[in-house]
Structure 1
Amino acid sequence: MLKLVTTFVVLILLIGCQVQTEQTNSKLPDEMASIDLDDIVKRGKIRVVTDYNSTNYFVYKGRPLGYQLELLQALSNTLGLKLEIVVSNDVEKNFESLLKGDVDLIATNLTVTRNRSHHVTFTEPHCITHQVLVQQKPSANNTLEEDDVIRNQLDLAGKTVYVQENSAYVTRLQSLANEIGDSIHVVEIPDYEVEQLIALVANGEIPYTVCDYNLAKINLNFFDNIDVETAISFPQKIGWAVRPNSGDLRDVVDNWLINFKKTNQYKRIYRKYFINKRSTHLVNSSFHSIKGGRVSAYDAIIKEESEKYNFDWRLIAALIYQESRFLPEVESWAGAIGLMQLMPQTAESFGVEKITSPQQNIQGGLKFLIWLDKRFRDRISDPEERLKFVLASYNVGPGHVEDAMRLAKKNNKNPNIWEDNVDYYLLNKSKPSFYNDPVVKYGYCRGEEPFHYVTDILERYTHYKNVITD
């Protein structure tokens, strides 16, 4: 890594990487998409890009978490819209995606700057912070003295500072260089997020980076050899961004943020991610998607068995989380047992001898999924659409799902489409007017459970795909 970073320094210094005025981003699209709140409401979902780090968005023990994620979930619930998360740590790419209309909102810790305001419209800030220098402090593992720690911004003259490419930290360092009347060598690192650069400082691979203070304080829990007490900016607004022609969306988000920040829910979320110290156990846990990349203790088995049957292991992990929270001996009130919550008769029919064995239980669950998939294959050719029927059947049985398909067909809905068609009739199958219909063969069903079961698993599966690549 040190060799890679050194290469960046040489290349950039060769082309004169001294402080310069901030350039207009040449990659921004010439034409801006025209999408506002009415279009988003008709679509039924709001598409948002956020960044992947240990604060904004991550997975811990199979559960999606993060400051930005929890804010976005609260916003989408208020708007009555589904939330579609896209993950990207590339600032430039995020602005491009917004203006092209691929996403409706950038929900990261965007510093509000005048130059950025020429291209996007910022929302009400969700927090206020300031930028700080991240550097090593003297310890037994380095040769630094107290006098080596920069406390005066004037001492940054001639120093090399590594920052995320196209970030607001670049602009701030350029302004600071003008203020101190000397040069600061700014190295913009592509494909590296702020926390990764902090780790490089902690490991001694680069000397300095810049970070927002609230995020810097969190990283003190991760690295006890960094210093974050030298401010390099005044307090700054941190907000989200929408397209300049998305005025209605901006107004709604602004009003929501103004009111939401006054609630105990917002205070709890902010304390959770920026004030309360998270234990070293959580930070260094192998079950943290950033630090260890594991969803559960059974990832190896899930991967092995899923590969045998041509399933994405992250889908199976999402299902197992829903069923058992990865507890192999848990038993439901109905008698379902194990990681994939197999009923004893189902386990027996698929050759499971020891139902609490994680491997055998997963094998039985996968065989059951394949059996269900074959049952719907002739009617529903699209694998992604068919998966919704298979998941609902895994939860409540295929008979009730087929009842809902017959009800949909009778009422001139598409019996082979899940959303806003079959799911509606399964959801309402607890009502006498639905389960007493002559086309219904399997009677009453508490349809709310399979309705949410499908949504929850697919949503969790998307989160796993966002942060776990293999």
Structure 2
Amino acid sequence: MTEIRKSSIGFLTLFCLFFATSCSRSDVRMPSVRERGRLTVVVEDRLPGYFVFGGESYGYQYDLFRAYADHLGVELHVVVGRTPSQCARMLCEGEADLAATLADHAATEGLVPVPIYRTSYVLLSDKKTAAQARRAEPFRLTEWLRGRKVMIAPGFKRSGAYDMLLDSLAFPTELYVSSANSFESIAALGEKRYDFLICEMSEAQLGCAFQKNVGQVYRFAESVSMSALVSPLDEGLRADFEAWLARFRCSEEYAMLNYLYFEKGIVGQMTGRRWTSAEAGGISVYDDLFKKICEREGYDWRLVSAIAYSESRFNPWLVSHRGAQGLMQIMPHVARQFDVAGNVMDPENNVLLAVKVLSKIEKSLDFAPGTSADERMKIVLACYNAGIGHVMDARNLARKYGADPDSWADVSRYLTLKSDPAYAGDEAVRHGRFVGRQTLAFVDNVYDRYVRYCTSVRR
């Protein structure tokens, strides 16, 4: 067996000492997440809960933190591939707001972890071997692994099941710690470069959907507790995060999150219609649908795809707490306005309604001749997110105070100022007070993603 025990010796002790010494600075305060407009989350290297597939970010923890960032009305920024000590330093020096970690790594002095979810690790092999192993009675894990070539995800090394496995296996078993992500490791297993692979359950489900010759053999009984650590420098962030998490766990969005990652929903989403876009340089499984509708309605399908990503991450079953539904987060009453029959959550109806809304918004804004396409796009996107009334108020304020109502820089400034009672009560304002930070983040995210799509995906 290859020698891989040494890296874990003394690790937890060093981690705890680091926190005890570096997080004791109570005199340091940084601006709140809302003040900065950005939530920075640092993720331990190779932990489950965050992965990139087809050029997009996924993962249970990633989507949960994204939901929290949306709640705060701020941008989400994820820093990955850090050691636990680096995560600790970033929290204590104000470089990160939250850290995603294993519960065992969060045993620190002064910082109590916030439990997020529990998952487990599974053993994969080629489908023929998996079928044989499942039929074996009784099934003895070590007998199947002994003398074979076994690859493990780095996170598995941090579980108790790993230590028990080491103690039970004997030479000449070849045990390797993967330096690749789970999907690359599953591909290597599918190519028979290894006999077995141990990786996290939700990543295994998704990977097996695309490697048809790979199947699950065994699920380890020990569950792994994923947690979050909160920066001690942001007063009130922990209480706010815990209160939000308690509410979120009662929401439909949380139920959908669990369905997506633990009941194979994400696999069905990506494979139900066929996943070829990532391999062919596309965007999502709904590329053909976006192209068909947008070509007919005169819109760039890549822009509508960018909106769908920001609104739902291409999840057609998503329902917000306000009742917005589907890929484009359409309210049911919109279907009545445009006389579109059928279920609003049906992807075709949903995308069609969104494009009709965009078209109506653009016609209503009465831009001055010569207004650039980028300025038009950003102001239309703001209307899509905030409602046209609030954006018209911001344009009226810009016009009244000598700014340009067709400039997104000026409109966004006054949209933010509508949170100030002095501006909200201005005679130019007809739709009341509005906190515009979330809308500004939405516009920036959609526009930036659209630009990236334009450089990598053909129209």
Q: Considering the TM-score relative to the shorter chain, is it more than 0.5?
A: yes
* Cα drift, residue 138 of structure 1: 0.8
2:99 counterpart SS class: strand
2:124 to 134, 143, 164: 134
Q: Do 2:420 and 2:433's aligned partners in 1 also have CA atoms closer than 8 Å? A: yes
Quick one: which of 159, 167, 178 aligns to 1:179?
167
The answer to whether 1:85 aligns with 2:77 is yes
Question: Counterpart of 2:95?
Answer: 102
Cα pair 1:154 1:180 within 8 Å, conserved = no
Task: Indicate the residue corresponding to 2:319 in structure 1.
Answer: none
CA distance in structure 2 between the aligned counterparts of 1:375 and 1:220, rounded to whole angstroms: 41
Return the letter of the residue paired with 2:118.
Answer: I
The residue type equivalent to 2:114 in the other structure is E
Q: Give the corresponding residue for 1:125.
A: 115
Q: CA RMSD in A?
A: 6.3
Alpha-carbon separation, structure 1, partners of 2:151 and 2:195:
8
User: Cα gap change, 1:152/1:298 in structure 2, threshold over 3 Å: closer, same or farther?
Assistant: closer
- Is 1:20 paired with 2:6? yes
Change over 3 Å in CA distance of 1:82–1:160 after alignment to 2: same
2: CA distance, partners of 1:74 / 1:322: 11
Q: 1:270 aligns with which of 248, 253, 258?
A: 258
Letter in 2 for 1:372: T
Matched letter for residue 125 of structure 1: P
1:136-215 matches, cutoff 5 A:
136-138=126-128, 151-153=140-142, 155-157=144-146, 159-164=148-153, 167-172=154-159, 175-180=163-168, 182=170, 185-190=174-179, 192-215=180-203
Measure, in 1, the Cα distance between the counterparts of 2:165 and 2:374.
68
**AA aligned opposite 1:228:** Q
How many Å separate the matches in 2 of 1:202 and 1:429? 64
Q: Give 1:6's aligned residue.
A: none
Q: Unaligned regions of 5+ residues in structure 1, if any?
A: 1-12, 302-311, 347-367, 377-385, 437-443
Q: What is the match of residue 383 of structure 1?
A: none
Deviation at 1:122, TM superposition (A): 6.4
Query: What letter matches 1:43 in structure 2?
Result: R
1:112 maps to 2:76? no
One-letter amino acid matched to 2:33? I
Query: Counterpart amino acid of 2:237?
Result: L
Partner of 1:460: 446
Judging changes above 3 Å, is the alpha-carbon distance between structure 1 residues 454 and 389 closer, same or farther for their aligned structure 2 residues? same
Residue matched to 1:435: 428
C-alpha displacement of 1:399: 9.0
CA deviation after TM superposition for structure 1 residue 449, in Å: 13
- Structure 2 unmatched runs, 5+: 293-299, 312-326, 329-334, 339-352
Is 1:39 the counterpart of 2:32 in the alignment? Answer: yes
Matches within 5 A, 1:352-371: 371=370
Relative to structure 1, is the Cα distance of residues 340 and 213 closer, same or farther in structure 2, using a 3 angstrom cutoff? closer
Q: Secondary structure at the match of 1:161?
A: strand
Q: How does 1:273-284 map to 2 (within 5 A)?
A: 273-277=261-265, 282-283=270-271
SS at match of 1:187: strand
Q: Which amino acid aligns with 1:102?
A: E
Is structure 2 residue 244 aligned with structure 1 residue 253?
A: no
Identity %: 17
Give the SS at the match of 1:102.
coil
Quick check: 1:57–1:68 contact (8 Å CA) kept in 2? no
Mean alpha-carbon deviation: is it higher for 279-288 or for 29-38? 29-38
Q: Structure 1 197/279 Cα, relative in aligned 2: closer, same or farther at 3 Å?
A: closer
Q: Which residue of 1 aligns with 2:345?
A: none
- Corresponding residue SS for 2:222: coil
Task: Give the distance between the partners of 1:22 and 1:375, measured in 2 at CA.
Answer: 52
Q: In the alignment, what sits opposite 1:350?
A: none
SS in structure 2 of the partner of residue 134 of structure 1: strand
| Paired residue secondary structure (1:103) | coil
- Contact 1:132 1:210 survives alignment (8 Å): yes
Q: Supply the distance in 2 between the matched residues of 1:321 and 1:32 (Cα, whole angstroms).
A: 37
Instruction: Give the whole-Å Cα distance in 1 for the aligned partners of 2:211 and 2:110.
Output: 35
Q: CA deviation at 1:193?
A: 1.9
Aligned equivalents of 1:155, 1:244: Cα separation in 2? 47
Q: Which letter does structure 1 place at the counterpart of 2:142?
A: Q
Counterpart CA distance in 2 for 1:137 and 1:337 is: 43
Q: Distance in 1 between matches of 2:369 and 2:150?
A: 54
The 8 Å contact of residues 137 and 227 in structure 1, kept in 2 or not, is answered as yes
Question: Secondary structure of the equivalent of 2:8?
Answer: coil
What's the offset of the Cα at 1:374? 9.2
Q: Which moved more, 1:420-429 or 1:90-99?
A: 420-429
Amino acid at match of 1:161: V
Q: Once the two structures are superposed, what CA deviation does each residue of 1:16-61 show, in whole Å capped at 9, x if it has no partner?
A: 644325154999999679777863343244223569999857799x
Q: Which amino acid aligns with 2:227?
A: G
**Once the two structures are superposed, what CA deviation does each residue of 1:104-159 show, in whole Å capped at 9, x if it has no partner?**
1234xx43334x6469956332222322222223179x999977x98423653454
SS in 1 for 2:371: helix
SS of equivalent to 1:113: helix
**Does the aligned pair in 1 maintain the 2:146–2:170 contact within 8 Å?**
yes
Among candidates 63, 68, 71, match of residue 64 of structure 2: 71
Distance 1:129 1:316, change over 3 A: closer
| TM-score scaled by length of structure 2 | 0.58
| Cα drift, residue 270 of structure 1 | 1.0
Which moved further from structure 2: 201-210 or 211-220? Answer: 211-220
Query: 2:393–2:428: 8 Å Cα contact kept in structure 1?
Result: no
Larger-Rg structure: 1
The whole-number CA distance in structure 2 between the counterparts of 1:67 and 1:122 is 21
Q: Is the 8 A contact 1:135 1:228 kept in 2?
A: yes
Measured after TM superposition, the shift of residue 299 of structure 1 is 9.3
What is the distance in 1 between the residues matched to 2:382 and 2:78? Answer: 26
- Number of the residue aligned with 1:294: 283
Write out per-residue CA displacement over residues 68-126 of structure 1, whole angstroms, 9 at most, x where no aligned residue: 35423443455x442423264x353983755654331234xx43334x64699563322
